[in-house]
Amino acid sequence: MFEHTFTIPAVHQGYLEPSACVVQIGVDGRVGVWPSNKLPYVLRDQLADLIDRPTDDIVIHPTVVGGDFGAKGGPMDVPLASHLARLTGRPIKFVSTAQDDLLTLSHRHPSVVTIRTGLRHDGTIVARHVRIVYNTGAYGALKPSEDGMLTGADYAGGPYEIPNLEVEAFCVYTNQPPCGYMRAPGHPQVAFAVEAHMDLLAREVGLDPLEFRLRNVARRSPTGGEGLAAAVLREAANAIGWQESGPGVGGEGPGSFSATPLVGRGIAIIERGIGFGEGSSDITVNPDGTITVVTGLPDNGTGTLTVVAQVVAEELGVAFERIELVRGTTDALVTDVGSAADRMTNVAGHAAIAACEQVKAQLAPLAASMLGADDVRWDAGGWRSADGRFVSLEELAVEALGSATPEAHVQVTINRPRSLHRSYCAQAAEVEVDPDTGEVHLRRVASSQDTGTIINTLGHQGQIEGGLVQGIGYALMEEMPLEDGRIANPHLGEYKIPTVRDVPELITVNVSSVGPGPFEAGAIGETPCVPTGGAIANAVADAIGGPVLSLPITAEKVLGARLRANLR
């Protein structure tokens, strides 16, 4: 039985645009809102409740959100702006300063995670108890979830077969600025603890960290199919040449004091689910053959708007350039999915497919009439009769549709159910540690993930690289120290985030899989930022011969850990 406790500090999302909104009361008395917010329909409902008005009296207008990473899901200054707009009869604009946001809003929760694990002599895990304490700050109103808990606690067992698992998780109120959501809420904290703990267990039983994980990783997925965790682990390890020499690949050996850099390798793996919920899609086939798609999705840089247009183009067999995507207000659709929990592609994509199927069915009688057939079937961009004749969607639109043909328009709302599907992401890191100063230089990182069908290659890779760079900052430099309940580094001159000079060689390995999203796509938005801290921490621990129990991994902590390792 082995027990370790890990501590993780508060960090900030590092978005560029501060919180902002404009509110105007219209001549009809309706409240118009232009917010920097990723959950427009949630905001509408929250504001209606706060000002005691029906939701029909409020309309949220789309804006381009200048960075989010989980932070912009709360109402922020919108209720106050609404009150002032009503009192003054004039539009009201609130724009926070970057320092205001850094000091007061929605940081990632500081956390303390204690893990106790029981092992057999062969290294098989038989039992685990995990206690997670999330420090939520002075209040929980910046989290749009009803219970305020973070879903990261759901992954405290890691992607491992553990027959006896008990998890306790708490969100506690403290005298410090309030915390909220940040990319994969609560999961990076837990994953760092779980994966650093796994390396310490491997050391105790004398196993290579990769071999120890392969012994314990789940062989089957929660859906009953073959698990991909082992394959993803091996791909990440192979990408940095793990089997060539294993961990501890250079320098004078762990913990030694010399001028030669200490080199270490580390690996970490996580599993993560895919989001679900309600989403809508509105599609019109225009008389010129173009397609208008109305969506309520937020534009916060995730690339989902492009994905939705691609899905519609694929389903209707038209060129991507023929799709016109319109971002509607909350009046345009019954509801729509917000940006959260790896759900936008899954929910919005399936809503778009449902709308395409319905508009194809509505237009089929017109196609049959044009072909002089009793019945037609859809066939790659148009309809085909039993005798083989074909009319394309564009030909039908030009010949048979007017400016208001009812069959050419459809609006659907769907509800994607919760899925047991799990995606896996393993990352392997190689670091170099200066033995005199404790400075950590990240040589390279490999990220291996099972992907499902990749709909947008550029956007998919951008999510991997962006998430990984966020993970590097989280692991090596980002923290928000407190002095008397106040943040001591209150602006981006003192709060350090990675720059291009901090980014090492990044290696991407995509493992083919089948996901529950449109065209069997999986989720990628939150996954790549989660295992990075554990992989880097394990690489540093391998280099210096001592455990890393807290983030970020500063030079002072490294020197202290080396000293303690040499005193043992």
pLDDT per position as a tens digit, 59-97: 999 899 988 888 888 888 999 999 999 999 999 999 999
Say if residues 36 and 66 touch (Cβ distance below 8 Å): yes
Instruction: Report the phi/psi class of residue 313: left, alpha or beta, with left for phi > 0 and alpha for psi in -120 to 50.
Output: alpha
| pLDDT over threshold 80, residue 566 | no
- 3 state SS of 481: coil
Highest mean pLDDT among 101-105, 254-258, 441-445, 484-488: 441-445
Q: Where are the domains of the chain?
A: 2-11+106-274+419-567, 20-95, 277-416
Average pLDDT over residues 146-159: 85
pLDDT digit string (tens) for 496-548?
999 999 999 999 999 999 999 999 999 998 999 999 999 999 999 999 999 99
Cα distances from 59 to residues 23, 80, 343, in angstroms, run 10, 16, 23
* Within this chain, domains 2-11+106-274+419-567 and 20-95 share the same CATH topology: yes
Angle, helix 40-51 to helix 78-88, in steps of 10 degrees: 50
Output the pLDDT for position 370: 95
Average pLDDT over residues 152-175: 94
CA–CA dist 444, 431 (Å, integer):
7
pLDDT digit string (tens) for 382-421?
999 999 999 999 999 999 999 889 999 999 999 999 888 8
Which pTM was predicted? 0.93
CA–CA dist 169, 110 (Å, integer):
13
Cα distances from 129 to residues 115, 187, 436, 474, 488, in angstroms, run 6, 17, 38, 25, 34
State the catalytic residues. 526
Omega before residue 552 within 30° of 0, cis? yes
CA–CA dist 8, 517 (Å, integer):
33
CA–CA dist 345, 20 (Å, integer):
26
CA–CA dist 213, 161 (Å, integer):
10
What torsion do the CA atoms of 170, 269, 126, 5 make, to the nearest 10 degrees? -40
pLDDT interval class at 237 (50, 70, 90): very high
Lowest mean pLDDT among 27-31, 96-100, 130-134: 96-100
- 3 state SS of 388: coil
Say if residues 345 and 521 touch (Cβ distance below 8 Å): yes
CA–CA dist 11, 434 (Å, integer):
26
Domain 277-416 has CATH 3.30.365.10: yes
CA–CA dist 558, 540 (Å, integer):
8
Lowest mean pLDDT among 147-156, 298-307, 367-376: 147-156
CATH code of domain 20-95: 3.30.365.10
CATH class for domain 2-11+106-274+419-567? alpha beta
Output the pLDDT for position 343: 84
């381009």: which residue's tokens? 64
> Judging by DSSP bridges, how do beta strands 440-450 and 482-483 pair with one another?
unpaired
